[in-house]
């Protein structure tokens, strides 16, 4: 952005007027002026001026003169480029998988919902016939080899298995990645391509990964949940080619910057490759001098359980992979039940309407062992849990933990829980610092489909029970878990406030968030669920100078504006990002 001559002269004049005041602060200071600054601090919710130095906020105030303790005697520049804008804290998406994002952003999307990505616009396809026709067209025209297509969902697109893909693509290796990410379906040519062309080789490879044999099927060409790791391992060369990762990470940075996201946490470092490989790549891309976002690494519980000297492991990883923009806290990811978008979550009685059962990613006894050992080792826990049976196991596990002041627990996703469980979470929040990082796109994309198939209209309507949690005082964050939802926190806030499905129906309005709660869940609440509320999430003295400039005030803008809130600029630690 370029300052006009008039604005620049006004800034210099103000700087000169302030320079005569005494100050102990020697560094250059920039004072940003705005039409309004929404701080997301309840005690001081608005301001008009914000003093920044060295990437840190010195103070906010309603006048230049009030900032004199920081500006007097310092080199000061008053920056008025945002004088007609509203400033808002840098947005936080507390659950993105950067490696997964870099991989997925190179793939064609063929999903029930619309996607606008750096690779292009991918309109949603909601019928079986249309999905099969579009896949056939991709087989004929899309150049990638093998062809890997993301977004299939059986309730929209009909069943998919090896036989169907053989019919559509008899001579070409095709992998279909289910909308949940937790499942891949391969045709015969694809299985042969990855060395699993016989039932014997498939079974032997699956056993070698210690996957649950019930999670995958050679006859159907399906790799699901614990079996997914086998498919990812065999596809590593196709997915992690350097030129593809370069492009994928560039696309990720663009998406985050354009939608005002300045912080994320990787909720399972080491899914596609080892922890070291993924951490090294994330450190490389986010650690660049021109980076406009930071990322937190997070190991998976299964990896830490195999390590005797966890403190030594952490010290080694921090020394090798952290930098100014990449951190590694004493936090760990646990996984309870299966994927929500695949109806693999564990659902309590009366279960699923078609009689199928969900899947455990981690069997309950092992989950309890992981939680107890890692809690006792001083870790804060982030627990992937999706169904009410999964939630019951998790809550029973948490009830066995002794409260520790320096630790917290965050339930990740929490797609469906009962009202009684939501109230229990509220009751437990103080002792365990229990929080919820929710994925609100479940109600948007799946509300109608799950009402008709699997859950019934009552349970489907009460997915994402955020209103009850908010009324119970449970700290909330909203996340994309890209590509379960777009990297667009304002869009997620709009979903949480409206609960409007892709069919236009509003479900269970009592579970809507207020505008204030929705905005807190993408700023200070999102910071809290990843333990970063002391440094980011609001605009206050001592915090990082991460903020976005907006044409509209998100606390007052019409709902349609909030859904696709225009972002004029993203500022990371006081540095304005290039568009």
Beta-sheet strands, E only, within 212-302: 216-217, 222-224, 261-266, 294-297
pLDDT in tens, 325-370: 999 999 999 999 999 999 999 999 999 999 999 999 999 999 999 9
pLDDT at 578: 75
**Phi, psi (deg, nearest 5) at residue 289:** -60, -30
pLDDT in tens, 465-476: 999 999 999 999
Helix (H) or strand (E) holding 35: strand 29-38
Provide the token pair at 105.
């952003």
- Side-chain half-sphere exposure of 71, counting CA atoms within 13 A: 26
pLDDT in tens, 383-395: 999 999 999 999 9
Residue positions counted in the chain = 579
20: confidence class by pLDDT, cuts 50, 70, 90 = very low
Q: Which residues contact 504 (CB under 8 A, 6 or more apart)?
A: none
pLDDT in tens, 183-233: 999 999 999 999 999 999 999 999 999 999 999 999 999 999 999 999 999
273: confidence class by pLDDT, cuts 50, 70, 90 = confident
- Other beta carbons within 10 angstroms of residue 471's beta carbon come to 16
**Phi, psi (deg, nearest 5) at residue 13:** -65, -45
Q: What's the predicted TM-score (pTM) here?
A: 0.93
SS3 letters across 322-373 = CECCEEECCEEEEECECCCCCCCCCCCCCCCCCCCCCCECCCHHHHHHHHHH
Measured CA angle at 302 (ends 296, 306), to 5 deg: 110
pLDDT in tens, 52-77: 999 999 999 999 999 999 998 889 99
Residue 300, strand partner residues: 333
Residue 30, strand partner residues: 52, 77
């Amino acid at each position: 952005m370029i300052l006009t001559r008039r604005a620049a002269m006004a800034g210099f004049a103000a700087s000169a007027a302030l320079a005569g005041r005494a100050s102990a602060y020697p560094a250059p200071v920039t004072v940003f002026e705005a039409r309004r600054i929404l701080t997301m601090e309840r005690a001081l919710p608005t301001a008009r001026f914000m003093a920044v130095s060295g990437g840190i906020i010195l103070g906010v105030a309603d006048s230049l003169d009030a900032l004199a303790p920081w500006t007097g005697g310092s080199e000061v520049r008053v920056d008025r480029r945002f004088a007609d804008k509203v400033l808002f804290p840098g947005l936080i998406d507390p659950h993105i998988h950067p490696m997964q994002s870099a991989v997925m952003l190179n793939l064609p999307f063929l999903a029930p919902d619309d996607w606008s990505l750096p690779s292009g616009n991918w309109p949603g396809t909601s019928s079986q016939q249309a999905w099969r026709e579009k896949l056939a067209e991709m087989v004929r025209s899309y150049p990638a080899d093998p062809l890997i297509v993301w977004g299939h969902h059986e309730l929209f697109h009909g069943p998919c298995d090896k036989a169907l893909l053989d019919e559509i693509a008899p001579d070409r290796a095709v992998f279909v990645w289910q909308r949940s990410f937790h499942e891949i379906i391969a045709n015969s040519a694809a299985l042969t391509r990855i060395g699993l062309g016989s039932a014997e080789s498939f079974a032997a490879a699956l056993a070698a990964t210690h996957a649950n044999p019930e999670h995958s099927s050679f006859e159907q060409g399906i790799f699901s949940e614990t079996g997914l790791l086998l498919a990812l391992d065999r596809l590593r060369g196709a997915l992690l080619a350097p030129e593809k990762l370069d492009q994928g990470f560039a696309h990720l940075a663009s998406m985050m910057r354009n939608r005002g996201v300045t912080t994320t946490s990787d909720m399972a470092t080491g899914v596609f490759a080892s922890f070291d490989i993924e951490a090294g790549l994330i450190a490389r891309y986010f650690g660049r001098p021109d980076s406009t976002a930071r990322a937190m690494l997070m190991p998976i519980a299964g990896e830490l359980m195999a390590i005797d000297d966890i403190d030594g492991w952490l010290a080694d990883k921090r020394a090798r992979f952290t930098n100014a923009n990449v951190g590694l806290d004493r936090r760990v990811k646990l996984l309870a039940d299966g994927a929500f978008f695949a109806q693999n979550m564990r659902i309590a009685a009366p279960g699923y309407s078609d009689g199928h059962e969900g899947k455990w990613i981690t069997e309950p006894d092992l989950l309890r062992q992981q939680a107890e050992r890692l809690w006792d080792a001083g870790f804060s826990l982030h627990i992937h849990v999706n169904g009410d049976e999964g939630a019951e196991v998790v809550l029973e596990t948490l009830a066995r933990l002794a409260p520790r002041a320096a630790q917290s627990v965050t339930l990740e996703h929490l797609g469906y829980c009962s009202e009684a469980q939501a109230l229990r979470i509220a009751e437990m929040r103080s002792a365990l610092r229990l929080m919820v990082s929710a994925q609100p796109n479940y109600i948007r994309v799946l509300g109608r489909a799950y009402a008709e198939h699997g859950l019934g209209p009552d349970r489907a309507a009460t997915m994402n029970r955020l209103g009850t949690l908010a009324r119970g005082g449970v700290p909330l964050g909203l996340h994309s878990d890209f590509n379960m939802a777009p990297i667009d926190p304002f869009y997620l806030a709009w979903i949480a406030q409206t609960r409007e499905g892709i069919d236009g129906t509003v479900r269970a309005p009592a579970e809507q968030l207020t505008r204030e709660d929705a905005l807190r869940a993408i700023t200070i609440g999102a910071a809290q669920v990843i333990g970063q509320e002391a440094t980011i999430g609001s605009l206050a003295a001592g915090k990082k100078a991460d903020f976005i400039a907006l044409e509209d005030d998100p606390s007052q803008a019409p709902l349609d504006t909030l859904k696709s809130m225009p972002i004029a600029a993203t500022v990371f630690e006081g540095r304005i990002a290039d568009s």
